[in-house]
Structure 1
């Protein structure tokens, strides 16, 4: 809906004053930290920020999971911090455990913990989340999922993920366009990851590859092509990406239903989407929110970030250089 608004609706021109104000404020905020007018806190270990300059799902969380697993294979202890969007954890900061629910920590935090078993800290203040991780145990590096514009936390490496298909839309700041910061921000980061679509010179290529579909109730796994009579849902930043993945792999759902990112689900509304003999198929990010009340006909399709050997080598070398320089 917003994509169509940004690309075609003439009403967006009425919002140009708000867009200019947004850009002015965001630039002033960043400049205030760069000039030392606002205090920046530096962690005693290297910090890697994985973020974006546009709104919507660009693939940050799959890249975070990929990077955590890649570094763990070298024996490193990893901490991950998030603000816990739409989480209602009560007292912050806190660490995610196997009993933490998505409504407490946010869906991304629970998903990252389930996939990696890394130490995951959650707090609206990234500084407090980092401190919670460090107070729990020694880590070699902190990775923050999102937080590119959270300049109160010093960072050693910035990695920006862009949607290779949607890229930067009309190139304007919110609300006229999808930009949090302008494209020139890319000139100051360690790496630009292009997720799907086309990648331009200087960008590292990433694709999201689906695995086996998983039944939420039994844990059974099978190829998604073996599932029949599918109703597909997605409550992520870019639901069409999930649906297009199904189409590309020869799966034609009976219908697709899009929800807002971080959608809070209830069993009655989800059960109403399917009839007898139909399967409800969702993203893994959706699955972490509904596992406690899942039904036997509910499945999810996990995806994994896959980077080229060149991209893998470049990212890991950059990170290990920072780790060695700090140690």
Structure 2
């Protein structure tokens, strides 16, 4: 069913039109909810009285569009500027429900795979909670000097008042343009946002662009690096539990690696019950996000990081928006 929906979302075929009446109901409910927040009947809340500036990195398309690499790129960029940055997330896929800080040794099952990756990759404080406004307040209570909070996802989480909205798209664009479940859209597009960033190589419409490529090394569980060139000619079993695993496999092949076998699993797969085929001399290779869960049962797996770089014009534009907000602190409501 999942694969059938993903195919249906790329064009306005029979299945999309069959689900279209349901999407009308979804659209009415989505618009009504947003109107309730806009009119003040549902309250929005700031994380702090004057700072931090809240930046939401989200999308309007279901199924992942590359938000987390954008979050990590922005955090690193602002850290390099000397700003104090924190990150909040719902922690999708975690087995806990409380509000908590992500530690460097936190299990992905407890905090979510993407928050665990962000914490490991940036060393920024990361908090998860079912309500992002709770995560933001907990972060600020623990780190009161925080100047910028970046929300990984949450474009539709209107309870948290935001200062800057960044909408991320991959090469699918808006797909067939229908709302869920007839199409991939969580809400109607276009809708007002501050910046649009494309994470893929072939943007579907106007917006800032970015480059993404695999690092030229793999990471072992102990953090040491192995040049990818040393893996050329070896028999590799590549596994990926991300939104579009074939993209990861293609990038590995473009690096000259031989993928004897590939395994594509659902996004955020927990790997608790996964076992590779009986040992045939394969070297197990995976994404950096999947490694945080895969290493528990398969410590010899190699993780290949994704290197993501927004175009300089995007960083200049988001810096201009941020600096304007930092120079005119808001008052909490």
Tell me the SS of whatever aligns to 2:95: coil
**Structure 1: runs of 5 or more not aligned:** none
Would you say how many aligned residue pairs link Structure 1 and Structure 2? 320
State the distance in 2 between where 1:287 and 1:116 align: 16
Alignment partner, residue 283 of structure 1: 287
Alignment partner, residue 25 of structure 1: 29
State the distance in 2 between where 1:312 and 1:89 align: 35
Q: Is the 8 A contact 2:211 2:311 kept in 1?
A: no
Match of 1:126 among 127, 132, 144: 132
Alignment partner, residue 274 of structure 2: 269
Tell me the SS of whatever aligns to 2:284: strand
Alignment partner, residue 83 of structure 1: 90
Q: Is the 8 A contact 2:91 2:111 kept in 1?
A: yes
State the distance in 2 between where 1:30 and 1:210 align: 38
Q: State TM-score, norm by structure 1.
A: 0.92
State the distance in 1 between where 2:83 and 2:153 align: 21
Alignment partner, residue 309 of structure 1: 312
RMSD of aligned alpha carbons: 1.8
Tell me the SS of whatever aligns to 1:233: strand
Alignment partner, residue 65 of structure 1: 72
State the distance in 1 between where 2:209 and 2:256 align: 24
Match of 2:240 among 234, 243, 246: 234
Deviation at 1:37, TM superposition (A): 1.5
Deviation at 1:46, TM superposition (A): 1.1
Q: State TM-score, norm by structure 2.
A: 0.90
Relative to structure 1, is the Cα distance of residues 286 and 154 closer, same or farther in structure 2, using a 3 angstrom cutoff? Answer: same
Deviation at 1:323, TM superposition (A): 1.5
State the distance in 2 between where 1:259 and 1:40 align: 37
Deviation at 1:201, TM superposition (A): 6.8
State the distance in 2 between where 1:153 and 1:255 align: 44
Question: What is the correspondence of 1:1-327 to structure 2 with a 5 Å cutoff?
Answer: 1=3, 2-7=5-10, 10-44=14-48, 45-90=52-97, 92-138=98-144, 139-163=146-170, 165-185=171-191, 188-199=192-203, 202-227=206-231, 228-266=234-272, 269-270=274-275, 272-273=276-277, 275-296=279-300, 298-326=301-329
State the distance in 1 between where 2:87 and 2:222 align: 29
> Which 10-residue stretch deviates more, 11-20 or 73-82?
11-20
Q: Is the 8 A contact 1:283 1:300 kept in 2?
A: yes
**Structure 2: runs of 5 or more not aligned:** none
Q: Is the 8 A contact 1:113 1:119 kept in 2?
A: yes
State the distance in 2 between where 1:205 and 1:146 align: 19
Deviation at 1:325, TM superposition (A): 1.5
Deviation at 1:152, TM superposition (A): 0.7
> Which 10-residue stretch deviates more, 48-57 or 253-262?
253-262
Q: Deviations over 1:281-312 (max 9, x none)?
A: 1111101112233332x111101211222222
Q: Is the 8 A contact 1:216 1:287 kept in 2?
A: no
Q: Is the 8 A contact 1:46 1:155 kept in 2?
A: yes
State the distance in 2 between where 1:167 and 1:235 align: 21
State the distance in 1 between where 2:296 and 2:221 align: 9
State the distance in 2 between where 1:32 and 1:141 align: 27
> Which 10-residue stretch deviates more, 115-124 or 207-216?
207-216
